[in-house]
């Protein structure tokens, strides 16, 4: 038997979304529910894939199946396709697995030609018939064969001007008939051939056009933005026409069953009488508020309300519906889950729970965790953003919106901030040296680096908006850059949308994030779900820790001690430590740093009040701390009693060709155990002190980064243990601390059983693990990814969500081997993926104990982890 490429609506249902597309599956489901839906059929997504991979032709088999369905449609409707007596007209619409609004316009009234128009005129109404005909020519011309819509509209406008008409309503049947002829001529001139009169020919061409639209630029961009794989393809829905343009008792409308912005339980829609669907959207006439229908056609209104309530209950979500009234009879043309703001989604979920439509579990599952991001960051005022001049767009690296004056160095940014300016820091790429400028900036724009570049990581960590990897930026010599044809100087305003990746000229108005009342109630449900992973945060300061606690974090999964090293009063001491040529020199420099680190840890312990705190030993390569400015070298040389030349030469000797794979992580602790010793001392002394003064039961978790070998793990652990032991003994206090490891090197996953013999806990560092598993440096990925995405090799940055196939396999191996060697081993994740819902779901399935993410993502992680637990239970 031939493969089935075409399904009548009655053959499908809502579960067949992948095959039939979202729109088609829902139409089929509504038929099944007995709703008034015009009959039709669906050409499957598989047919689209087949079309796109096999020479871009509809196979004879496909055509045959389509023909069969047309026959069936003729039999149920009693009309005939292409007939010149009782013609069957159809609409043709695209419908992908995921909703892709505006991917391809609809073609209505397909199947019409001169003869069938005449027949329609005789059977129904002449004006209606030629109105429908001209609509079809324009839509088909525009959508299927690429004749510019403007040409048609221009011709219509000219005609109406000549006649002195104000709007379409002035047009008579004769006028539309004349327009049909004008449009046909226009088509012939543009295409060099007559407008097709054969209904089948029209249909095949329209189906091909839908398939082709899957490959167009708009669809490409949309897919990329929404992580939709090219392979999915789109289905095509062919449906018997019902006519909203059949006079005063006909009409069309669009309705959201609740308010998509606020979530309020009130129909939100519009309709137009004597109009087809696209008129409502196109704004030819001003549509009426849906509520007016209650007076205009009360029976139809009541029927619609009944259907809409039923669909809401059935789909357990607010619905986005289209309907047509044909001479007083209601038809539902589409329903789908409505798009709404995060605020609305939460209100709807809470309302639906309270009205009994949803269980708590269903309510939790109804909200996309990613959407919560909106609630936690400032955004642009939508109108102002729409009006602003776009300079360009790049990678949406850290969400939020920001406007400020451009500065090009961390020092300039810091000075401007001091002077009270709002600052946008613009850099080729950032390094830890830029921290001082980054923390004061409202937003950060870089020319290089992807979602996991230094700029992006730090920005997300500090909750600052960031657009990265804008390769189109050209930096000029005079403190200015050129982008999108505009040259922006230091001090000029630009605005960044870090959630979308857009860069605007000027000072676009921002509005503060609104936290809806229902938010707290809703997110608390997430914490009740049994078996949910723990949620920790990545925080380096008491301030971040507090913020994360407010967002619901249960502990700290990662404190990066090196971030503390960059503060202005410490950096010179850190540099002295690094440039030490003997252990004695280094110990002296470290002694100066201890009070600072100890103070930091005390602050964090105090905020966390006995909750778990995981502190990672120094990780980055030492040369990241080196000065780059001459003045800093001079000062440093003076401080250290060395010549500038000597200091520079040490700095050069620290340079590495591939610092990501160089002298960092536990390798530093092996070379300079005194650093690990100092850090352990600070961690333990701080814990002892806070335990004594505040009475909290503090259990520090000390984490060794970058391990890949059992003996290296043991070496560093022994340094930590002996230091900690001595301090506890001296204090006469028993302190429970644990020593564990980051798992962030492929080899660590492979020998996890070995490492678990020493490590008392694991925490996946999926940023580094992903880089090394892919052999792809986050700092250098920008240009590469652009090419890969453009060539359809990657749908998006493959490292933004956890690579389940590659990296995930290594993680699974590590969990299995680790727990085999040490049953019950506590395992978490503290890479960026710890805040990504897709990755969180995976972490749940491989049995992690907790995820840790930046404070701003804690609510997202709470919801995503709850959903993972719920889905896994099913």
**Could you count the other beta carbons within 10 Å of the beta carbon of residue 596?**
17
Does residue 750 bind its own copies (CB under 8 A)? yes
Is residue 270 within 8 Å of residue 287, measured between CB atoms? yes
CA 866 – CA 873 distance, rounded (Å): 11
Residue with Cβ nearer its own copies (757 or 783): 783
Residue found under tokens 């549509």: 287
Which one of 33, 178, 182, 660 is in contact with its own copies (CB under 8 A)?
660
Does residue 715 bind its own copies (CB under 8 A)? yes
Is residue 543 within 8 Å of residue 431, measured between CB atoms? no
Number of shown-chain residues binding its own copies (CB under 8 A): 49
Burial of residue 791, with CB atoms counted within 10 A of its CB: 0-12 exposed, 13-18 middle, 19 or more buried: exposed
CA 318 – CA 648 distance, rounded (Å): 64
Does residue 610 bind its own copies (CB under 8 A)? no
Which one of 528, 609, 629, 656 is in contact with its own copies (CB under 8 A)?
656
Structure tokens given for 712? 């290296």
CB of 223 to its own copies, least distance (A): 15
Residue with Cβ nearer its own copies (169 or 805): 805
Stretch that binds its own copies, among 140-148, 370-378, 746-754, 847-855 (CB under 8 A): 746-754
Which one of 36, 378, 484, 662 is in contact with its own copies (CB under 8 A)?
662
CB of 762 to its own copies, least distance (A): 16
Residue with Cβ nearer its own copies (153 or 231): 231
DSSP string spanning 337-406? EPP--HHHHHHHHHHHHHTTSS-HHHHHHTS-GGGGHHHHS-EE-HHHHHHSPEEEE-EEEE-SEEEEEE
Does residue 430 bind its own copies (CB under 8 A)? no
Does residue 709 bind its own copies (CB under 8 A)? yes
Which one of 434, 677, 744, 758 is in contact with its own copies (CB under 8 A)?
744
Indicate the SS3 state at residue 646: helix
Which one of 263, 498, 708, 837 is in contact with its own copies (CB under 8 A)?
708
Residue found under tokens 């919560």: 372
CB of 49 to its own copies, least distance (A): 15
CB of 574 to its own copies, least distance (A): 19
CB of 735 to its own copies, least distance (A): 26
Whether 3 is catalytic: no
Does residue 745 bind its own copies (CB under 8 A)? yes
CA 475 – CA 237 distance, rounded (Å): 50
Q: What is the DSSP letter of 88?
A: E
CB of 794 to its own copies, least distance (A): 8
Burial of residue 589, with CB atoms counted within 10 A of its CB: 0-12 exposed, 13-18 middle, 19 or more buried: buried
DSSP string spanning 458-476? HHHHHT-EEEE--TT-EE-
Structure tokens given for 237? 């829905």
Does residue 155 bind its own copies (CB under 8 A)? no
Structure tokens given for 320? 């986005």
Does residue 806 bind its own copies (CB under 8 A)? yes
Is residue 516 within 8 Å of residue 832, measured between CB atoms? no
Residue with Cβ nearer its own copies (3 or 783): 783
Site for its own copies in 322-361 (CB under 8 A): none
CB of 557 to its own copies, least distance (A): 21
Residue with Cβ nearer its own copies (283 or 485): 485
Residue with Cβ nearer its own copies (154 or 725): 725
685-721: b or e for each residue (b if 16 or more CB lie within 10 Å)? bbbbbbbeeeebebbbbbbbbbbbebebbbbbbebbe
Which one of 66, 219, 546, 751 is in contact with its own copies (CB under 8 A)?
751
CA 104 – CA 113 distance, rounded (Å): 23
Annotated catalytic residue within 307, 454, 563, 833: 454
CA 472 – CA 213 distance, rounded (Å): 28
Q: How do strand 493-497 and strand 502-505 relate by DSSP bridges?
A: antiparallel
CB of 596 to its own copies, least distance (A): 26
Does residue 671 bind its own copies (CB under 8 A)? yes
CB of 469 to its own copies, least distance (A): 13
CB of 854 to its own copies, least distance (A): 23
Whether 314 is catalytic: no
Residue with Cβ nearer its own copies (286 or 658): 658
Instruction: Mark 757-796 with x for binding to its own copies (rule: CB under 8 A) and - for no binding.
Output: -----------x--xxxxxxx-xx--xx--xx--xxxx--
Does residue 817 bind its own copies (CB under 8 A)? no
Does residue 582 bind its own copies (CB under 8 A)? no
- Per-residue 3-state assignment (H helix, E strand, C coil) for 807-872: HHHHHHHHHHHHHHHCCCCEEEECCHHHHCHHHHHHHHHCCCCEEEECHHHHHHHHHHHHHHHHHH
CA 359 – CA 513 distance, rounded (Å): 28
Is residue 865 within 8 Å of residue 851, measured between CB atoms? yes
- Which among 319, 272, 277, 263 is positioned nearest to 23, based on CA atoms? 319
Instruction: Mark 62-101 with x for binding to its own copies (rule: CB under 8 A) and - for no binding.
Output: ----------------------------------------
Which one of 809, 816, 838, 849 is in contact with its own copies (CB under 8 A)?
809
Residue with Cβ nearer its own copies (83 or 429): 429
CB of 803 to its own copies, least distance (A): 7
Which one of 746, 831, 837, 855 is in contact with its own copies (CB under 8 A)?
746
Residue with Cβ nearer its own copies (580 or 773): 773
Stretch that binds its own copies, among 166-174, 321-329, 366-374, 665-673 (CB under 8 A): 665-673
DSSP string spanning 518-568? HHHHHHHHHHHSTTPPEEEEE-SSHHHHHHHHHTT--SEEEEEHHHHHTST
Residue with Cβ nearer its own copies (105 or 482): 482
Residue with Cβ nearer its own copies (255 or 669): 669
Annotated catalytic residue within 465, 666, 749, 830: 830
Indicate which residues carry an active-site annotation.
454, 830
Residues of the shown chain interacting with its own copies in the complex, contacts defined by CB under 8 A: 429, 656-663, 667, 670-671, 706, 708-709, 711-712, 715, 744-747, 750-751, 768, 771-777, 779-780, 783-784, 787-788, 791-794, 798, 803, 805-807, 809-810
């Amino acid at each position: 038997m031939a493969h089935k490429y075409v399904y009548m609506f009655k053959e499908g249902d809502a579960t067949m979304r992948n095959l039939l597309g979202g729109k088609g599956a829902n139409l089929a489901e509504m038929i099944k529910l007995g709703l008034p839906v015009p009959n039709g059929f669906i050409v499957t997504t598989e047919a689209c894939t087949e079309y796109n991979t096999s020479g871009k032709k509809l196979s004879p088999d496909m055509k045959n199946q389509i023909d069969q369905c047309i026959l069936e449609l003729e039999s149920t409707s009693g009309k005939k396709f292409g007939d010149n007596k009782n013609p069957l007209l159809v609409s043709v619409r695209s419908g992908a697995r995921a909703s892709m609004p505006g991917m391809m316009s609809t073609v209505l009234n397909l199947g019409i030609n001169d003869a069938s128009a005449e027949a329609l005129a005789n059977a129904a109404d002449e004006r209606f018939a030629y109105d429908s005909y001209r609509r079809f020519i324009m839509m088909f011309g525009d959508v299927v064969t690429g004749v510019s819509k403007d040409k048609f509209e221009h011709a219509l406008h000219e005609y109406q001007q000549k006649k002195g008409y104000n709007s379409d309503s002035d047009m008579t049947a004769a006028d539309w008939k004349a327009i049909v002829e004008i449009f046909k001529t226009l088509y012939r001139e543009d295409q060099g051939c007559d407008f097709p009169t054969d209904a089948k020919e029209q249909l095949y061409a329209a189906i091909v056009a839908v398939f082709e639209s899957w490959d167009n630029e708009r669809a490409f961009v949309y897919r990329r933005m929404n992580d939709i794989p090219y392979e999915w393809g789109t289905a095509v829905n062919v449906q018997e026409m019902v006519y909203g343009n059949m006079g005063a008792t006909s009409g069309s409308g669009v309705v959201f069953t609740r308010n998509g912005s606020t979530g309020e339980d009130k129909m939100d829609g519009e309709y137009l009488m004597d109009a087809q669907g696209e008129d409502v959207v196109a704004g030819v006439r001003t549509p009426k508020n849906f509520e007016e229908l209650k007076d205009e056609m009360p029976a139809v209104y009541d029927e619609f309300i009944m259907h809409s309530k039923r669909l809401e209950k059935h789909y357990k979500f607010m619905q986005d519906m289209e309907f047509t009234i044909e001479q007083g009879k209601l038809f539902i043309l589409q329903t789908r889950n409505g798009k709404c703001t995060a605020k609305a989604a939460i209100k709807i979920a809470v309302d639906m729970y309270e009205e009994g439509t949803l269980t708590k579990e269903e309510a939790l599952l109804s909200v996309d965790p990613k959407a919560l991001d909106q609630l936690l960051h400032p955004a642009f005022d939508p109108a102002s953003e729409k009006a602003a001049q776009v300079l360009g767009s790049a990678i949406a690296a850290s969400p939020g919106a920001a406007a400020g004056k451009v500065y090009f160095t961390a020092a300039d940014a810091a000075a401007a901030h001091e002077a009270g300016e709002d600052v946008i820091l613009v850099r080729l790429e950032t390094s830890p040296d830029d921290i001082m400028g980054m923390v004061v900036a409202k937003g950060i724009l870089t020319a290089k680096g992807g979602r996991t570049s230094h700029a992006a990581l730090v920005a997300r960590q500090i909750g600052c908006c960031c657009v990265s990897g804008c390769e189109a930026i050209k930096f000029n010599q005079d403190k200015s850059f050129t982008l999108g044809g505009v040259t922006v100087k230091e001090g000029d305003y630009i605005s960044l949308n870090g959630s979308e990746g857009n860069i605007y000229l000027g000072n676009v108005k921002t509005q503060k994030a609104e936290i809806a009342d229902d938010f707290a109630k809703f997110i608390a449900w997430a914490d009740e779900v049994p078996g949910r992973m723990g949620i920790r945060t990545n925080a380096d300061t008491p301030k971040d820790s507090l913020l994360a606690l407010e967002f619901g974090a249960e502990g700290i999964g990662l404190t990066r001690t090196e971030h503390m090293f960059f503060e202005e009063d410490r950096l010179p001491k850190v540099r002295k430590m690094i440039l030490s040529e003997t252990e004695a020199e280094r110990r002296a420099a470290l002694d100066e740093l201890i009070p600072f680190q100890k103070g930091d840890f005390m602050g964090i312990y105090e905020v966390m009040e006995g909750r778990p705190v995981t502190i990672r030993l120094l990780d980055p390569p030492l040369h990241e701390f080196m000065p780059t400015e001459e003045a800093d070298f001079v000062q440093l040389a003076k401080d250290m009693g060395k010549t500038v030349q000597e200091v520079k030469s040490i700095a050069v000797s620290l340079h590495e060709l591939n610092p990501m794979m160089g002298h960092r992580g536990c390798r530093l602790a092996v070379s300079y155990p005194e650093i690990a010793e100092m850090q352990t001392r600070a961690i333990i002394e701080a814990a002892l002190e806070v335990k004594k003064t505040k009475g909290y039961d503090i259990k520090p978790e000390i984490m060794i980064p970058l391990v890949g070998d059992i003996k290296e793990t043991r070496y560093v652990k022994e340094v930590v243990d002996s230091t900690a032991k001595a301090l506890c003994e001296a204090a006469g206090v028993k302190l429970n601390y644990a020593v564990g490891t980051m798992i962030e090197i492929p080899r660590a996953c492979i020998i996890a059983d070995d490492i678990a013999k020493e490590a008392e806990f694991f925490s996946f560092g999926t940023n580094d693990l992903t880089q090394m598993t892919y052999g792809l440096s986050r700092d250098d990925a920008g240009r590469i990814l652009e090419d890969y995405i453009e060539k359809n090799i990657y749908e998006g940055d493959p490292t933004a969500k956890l690579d389940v196939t590659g990296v995930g396999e290594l993680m699974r191996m590590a969990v299995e081997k680790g727990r085999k060697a040490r049953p019950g081993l506590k395992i978490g994740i503290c890479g960026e993926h710890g805040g990504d819902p897709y990755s969180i779901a995976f972490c749940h399935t491989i049995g992690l104990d907790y995820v840790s993410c930046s404070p701003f993502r804690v609510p997202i992680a709470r919801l995503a982890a709850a959903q993972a637990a719920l889905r896994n239970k099913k």
